[in-house]
Structure 1
Amino acid sequence: MSTKIKRCSLLAASIIMIMAVAMVSSGSVLAEYDVKSIIINPNPPYQTSIWTDRSQYDPGDRLNVYFRTSKDAYVYIFDIDTVGNVSLIFPNIYSGSNYKRAGQTHSLPDNARYNLTIGGPAGVEQLVMIATPSQIRDVDWLRRSLEQGSFGPQLNVNITADRFMFEVKSVTITPVFGQDWSSAVTSFTVGRVSTPLPPPPPPVSRGTLNITSKPSGATVFLDGVEKGTTPLTITGVAYGVHDIAIMKKHYYTYSRQITVNSPNPYHIDATLARLPASSDWDDEVQLVNKSILVKWPQTGPFTETFTFRGSTGSVVINGDPILGMLSRVTGNITADAVGPVEFMQIKPSGPDSPWPGRVYEKIQYPFRVRVAVEDYSITTGAVFGIEYIDHVRLRLEIWHIGR
């Protein structure tokens, strides 16, 4: 933030900020710049809101800021400019007390000693408001802002804006006030920011699968979706990685992962192995068919134990949580004290990333387990830009396949 102040009639504060919503309270979502997900108090004991008199400004325009709190509180307002610099603009060396009464609309500038004037460059700028029941004391960024003798000096000299706001919350706010604080965010545009049209998506390339089996008449599943029986030709298969499963009663399931990357037909010739026969026990009997949602805070382990005709097994599905998200989800099977054997690993990206219908299957004699992805979402952490799994819903099926 490049904030400049002159006294008396020449007072002019130049602050460089972000894109606007008319009014954003502590319960809303900010799409342009995800500072709110960093600085938000998920259970605020009182409500705060902050807004500006306009949604778009040109360099040289005067800015007026308004804010409210539902409880008497000390208010701190940060500016995040269009290039990511963070400055404390309230309180400042010219402002009055930052202790504000509840139920009133307060404004900045709060006296005639200074003005707030928009600078540049063009872009999106943001204001972050924090309200606390008592003053923040003995903090380096606050001392620098109020003791350097200049209006709104830059606070985050060596780190990014999102990292600075994360440290304000985790180092200054939460250890002192616990949950007894509230926050709000608003933003606006500086200059005429034009958004170029996104390029058209590239055409989706597709291939063909020719699938046969010995014996024929087996049911074919592509990414968990039944497509027909062998011999079978499947056209219009999008380029990429796909799961193939070929099933026939009294035979082990044939499953593999293929990569379609050519318009030339992809041939799969599956030789199915017959299940061991013992009386009529070679019929597959389904023991479990259920949906499991893995999402913070219910991350597992989810354990399914089953017994049939003297054999006992278990399947365990477990999510690895980190900061309210999931770094991976795994599946293991144990059968008649053999195991556990891992048959599934889901990660947010790379070859282990999920897609709807992706299938993970394992035979651990005399049981067969099949897990299909029904639904999922991936999120990117605001601080470090790392992808995490927000949730994944799985369909778990387990069969006894004979002795």
Structure 2
Amino acid sequence: MKKFFALFIPLIFLFSLGFSQASVQDIIITPTQLSTLTIKLWINRAVGATYYPGENIYLYFKTSQDAYITIYDYTTDGKLRMIFPNSFQQNNFVRANNVYVIPNPNYNFVISGPNGREVIEAIASTSPGVIPQPRIGNQPFSEIPEGLGYLQNLKIDIVGKPVAVATTYFYVGYVPRVGIVHFDSQPPKASLYVDGIYEGQTPMDLQLQDGDHLAVFWYGTYNVSKVFKVTPNTYQTVSSVIPVLPNYPSIQMFPVDFNTSPSGAMIFVNGKMLGISPCTINLDGGTYEITIVKPDYATIVTQISVNNTQSFNFQIQRLSF
């Protein structure tokens, strides 16, 4: 008989939205250098989605290289626990490009109140021992009594180390109010991360939930961090001047055309939906994972290399039911 464990995720009360008494900058882990290792972390709904008590939640992750993974859950009442590895899944070594899910069939994550926002962070390294591991005891998940102090020490431990970090979050019991934020930078076309999640290149507008957020602007190897507060039903601007060297090469963007037969397919670039075919998407030079999705048609997942103005054509096959 299978064993099931219900994880009731503690969250802060509705009247005290936010990250307990902590600053968002204290919670979000930002790498100090770029790494060839990448990790993607997502939930079974869109980032920032709402779950209600009694519903199950699933976390998924994938790395670009074989790696060792640690996943932390920072609750909005100020508690920190390690949810992977855990007593059910004790091996934290994962293979490249495989999608992993927690919980596995031996236990469940079941949402419970009170209402609030929960943050999940994953850290990956290609070598064991780079990320300190709390001891897995008799409890299903390791609660870390140092809380924010542990996160601060962890940020120091990973300075200069080639680790990859991914973040996601969700809400329980309510749909948060939102505002519109315009992001721009000098120089433009900086890579923008909000609350640890890659959003695209500046300038751009985002709809964000009310409360504190952390933006990190990357331009090449240079980065600037900014904490800002979103006020519901407003339009605001967050700007950054990135102190790059005068002779630092600019990032060149190329228009890339995506065509599908039939048309009307959603085009995802590195997991982010950027257009509906036919469409033109501006990308800088590099390799991208492209996912093409159209209801009732087979999904296409492929990689492209961009180094010039290019056009891609895809034939998608209708599914037979």
Q: What TM-score, normalized to structure 2?
A: 0.47
Q: What TM-score, normalized to structure 1?
A: 0.38
Higher relative contact order (CA 8 A, sep 6+): 2
Find the structure with the greater CA-based Rg. 1
